[in-house]
Amino acid sequence: MQALLQENREKSSLNLKEVEEPRPGRGEVKIRVRAAGICGTDVHGISSLQPPVILGHEFSGEVVEVGQGVERIKVGDRVTSETTIYRCGVCPYCRRGFFNLCPERKGIGSGANGSFAEYIVVPEFAVHILPPQLSFEEGAVLEPLACAARGVLEQAELKDKEKVVVLGPGPLGILVSWVAKTRGVSVALVGKQEDELRFQVAKEGGVDYLLNLDEVDVEDFILREIDSYGVDLVFECSGALPAVSLGLEVLKKRGQYVQMGIIHRPVAVDFDRYLFSRELKITGSRTQTASSWEKAISLLENTSLPLRKIITHSLPLSRWQEGFELTQSRKAIKVILKP
Ligand SMILES: [Zn+2]
Ligand SMILES: [Zn+2]
């Protein structure tokens, strides 16, 4: 079968190759990939990459074969899969359901073969049936939605928090804004001049303020128009260094900062100013756990998130290079590849 394989740590080793079709072992499910989303980490790289590996971790498809012992999932089911396909089950994190933090964790598209291929094999426990109203393309966006659900509904302490700022209007920032809106809070999404398309789409999910850093003094706007004490909660989804200081600065005392973007380098933070004097809470949110997937699916069943709007391009897998360029260019929001 055709697959987008990264042979070694060099990005130049990423290429469409003919590889052997995977077979499902005991407890495993073989899925024909129908839609696979390109993530920023596919383009920019991640530290947990173990090449040679097929990239891709946001996908949906239909089950074509099941291994021995598989009972819940059947051939013909329309499904998606969690990214974590191996966890030890005995470490202190696994025992509390934090599979995303297991030291032995393997995720598809980084530690195990991913979804930029005609077929993928995953364990049954990771598989979720798609809600019937969801297209395969929308099904491929469930993974970033589960990341957003983890940040907003599990890592953030939303109780009594009313004013939220989201930094970075990429697919994750837009989904985080929308999930926050389902909780009835006010949301300001911050981006740049070139994010115009992203702002338009974000608006469809009811985001209250769209703040363009190239046009307004964002810190001044927040303190003047939203709350003179600052906001309650900041989600940093851009991974841009200057966004970290902006996010910490616009928080109210005792507010909470959640890091969701990957910064790729160390950050200097003034502990006296933010942790001591303002008692800020700083936390992170990494990928998802099984519970975040359940929350994401329940969001789709009980709210009307305009998920389809963030999919701006759909290309055959053979045009993956174009898809990667579009993802990098900000001319796209979510690009889907179809093997
Ligand atoms: Zn991703
Ligand atoms: Zn573990």
141 Cα to the center of ligand 1, angstroms: 10
25 Cα to the center of ligand 2, angstroms: 22
Most distant pair of Cα atoms in the chain: their distance? 62
254 Cα to the center of ligand 2, angstroms: 32
Q: Which residues are bridge partners to 281 per DSSP? A: 256
90 Cα to the center of ligand 2, angstroms: 5
Domain spanning 148-284, CATH class: alpha beta
* DSSP letters for 108-142: BTTTB--SSBSEEEEEGGGEEEPPTT--HHHHTTH
Work out whether strand 28-37 and strand 106-107 pair parallel, antiparallel, or are unpaired: unpaired
Q: What is the mean pLDDT of residues 239-252?
A: 97
Work out whether strand 28-37 and strand 334-338 pair parallel, antiparallel, or are unpaired: antiparallel
Output the pLDDT for position 48.
86
Output the pLDDT for position 161.
76
288 Cα to the center of ligand 2, angstroms: 14
Which ligand lies nearest to the CA atom of residue 92 in the structure? 2
Which ligand lies nearest to the CA atom of residue 94 in the structure? 2
What is the distance between the alpha carbons of residues 233 and 163, in angstroms, rounded to a whole number? 7
4 Cα to the center of ligand 2, angstroms: 29
Which ligand lies nearest to the CA atom of residue 289 in the structure? 2
Output the pLDDT for position 269.
95
106 Cα to the center of ligand 1, angstroms: 14
166 Cα to the center of ligand 2, angstroms: 31
With 90 as the cut, is the pLDDT of residue 239 above it? Answer: yes
277 Cα to the center of ligand 1, angstroms: 35
Answer yes or no: pTM beyond 0.85.
yes
pLDDT digits (tens, 9 = 90+) for 48-102: 899 999 999 999 999 999 999 999 999 999 999 999 999 999 999 999 999 999 9
Q: What is the mean pLDDT of residues 246-266?
A: 96
Output the pLDDT for position 158.
86
pLDDT digits (tens, 9 = 90+) for 129-166: 999 999 999 999 999 999 999 999 999 998 877 999 99
216 Cα to the center of ligand 2, angstroms: 46
pLDDT digits (tens, 9 = 90+) for 165-212: 999 999 999 999 999 999 999 999 999 999 999 999 999 999 999 999
Q: What is the mean pLDDT of residues 292-320?
A: 95
Q: Residue ranges of the domains in the chain?
A: 2-140+306-338, 148-284
Question: Minimal CA–CA distance to 296: which of 145, 111, 172, 130?
Answer: 145
290 Cα to the center of ligand 2, angstroms: 14
The chain-wide mean pLDDT, for the chain, equals 96
Output the pLDDT for position 4.
98
> Nearest-5° angle of CA 338, CA 58, CA 107?
130
Fold of domain 2-140+306-338: Quinone Oxidoreductase; Chain A, domain 1 (3.90.180)
271 Cα to the center of ligand 1, angstroms: 30
pLDDT digits (tens, 9 = 90+) for 2-50: 999 999 999 899 999 999 999 999 999 999 999 999 999 999 888 889 9
Show Cβ contacts of residue 77 under 8 Å, excluding neighbours closer than 6 positions: 62, 63, 129
In a 10 Å sphere around its CB, with 0-12 CB exposed, 13-18 middle and 19+ buried, how is residue 163 labelled? buried
Q: Which residues are bridge partners to 53 per DSSP? A: 6
Which ligand lies nearest to the CA atom of residue 99 in the structure? 2
What is the distance between the alpha carbons of residues 99 and 130, in angstroms, rounded to a whole number? 22
Evaluate whether 2-140+306-338 and 148-284 have a shared fold. no
Output the pLDDT for position 156.
96
Output the pLDDT for position 147.
97
Which ligand lies nearest to the CA atom of residue 38 in the structure? 1
91 Cα to the center of ligand 2, angstroms: 4
- Judge contact between 137 and 311, C-beta under 8 A: yes
Portion of the chain with pLDDT greater than 90, in percent: 94
| Total H helices, total E strands in the chain | 11, 18
pLDDT digits (tens, 9 = 90+) for 109-135: 999 999 999 999 999 999 999 999 999
Output the pLDDT for position 256.
97
Question: Minimal CA–CA distance to 335: which of 82, 324, 201?
Answer: 324
Which ligand lies nearest to the CA atom of residue 41 in the structure? 1
Output the pLDDT for position 326.
96
Which ligand lies nearest to the CA atom of residue 36 in the structure? 1
